[in-house]
Amino acid sequence: MHKFVKIGLVVLGAIGAILWSQLPGTEVPVGEAVESGAVHWMFMIMYLLLAVAVLFSLVFTLKNLFANPQSLKKTLFGIVGFLLVVAIAYVLSDGADGTVEAMADRGVATTESTVKNIGTGLNVFFILVMIAVGSMAWGGLKKMTNK
């Protein structure tokens, strides 16, 4: 199996080198360069390699996760905690804060739900930052008091 992977990588590397040599030059307008067949196939190879990497990382992660019940329990606690943070952030976000009208004045069409989703994302970020800073501060205080 290892030999097949090596051969596959060498073949993909050779194809990538050939496609790289066929890329349009700097004198070609960007619109035409993007439509180039070489660019298209390089992106296809990139998507293929990304899909393979994601697939293998998911498979081996899930395999190791289900092999150890203790790690599965910790992972489920982490997922539930994150979903709880998202739920709290969603409740705290407000879509009717005047942002919709301000965006409409600038010519950007948006809805209250879009503003609420953006607010949720920002609130999740801020809550997770507070949790991270609090964890570091707690660890530092604990380390200082134990000595």
The structure tokens 């209250």 sit at: 112
Across residues 77-95, what is the average pLDDT? 93
7: number of CA atoms within 13 Å, CB side? 4
pLDDT in tens, 13-49: 888 888 888 778 778 787 777 777 888 888 888 898 8
Residue 132 backbone phi and psi in degrees, to 5: -65, -45
- Average pLDDT, integer, range 88-111: 80
Model-wide pTM > 0.75: no
> If you average pLDDT over residues 112-134, what whole number do you get?
92
Q: How far apart are CA 77 and CA 65, in angstroms?
A: 13
- Average model confidence (pLDDT) across the chain: 87
Q: Given a cut of 70, is residue 147 above it in pLDDT?
A: no
Tell me how crowded residue 120 is: count the other CB atoms within 10 A of its CB.
19
The domain locations on the chain are 1-67, 69-147
Confidence of residue 133 (pLDDT cuts 50, 70, 90): very high
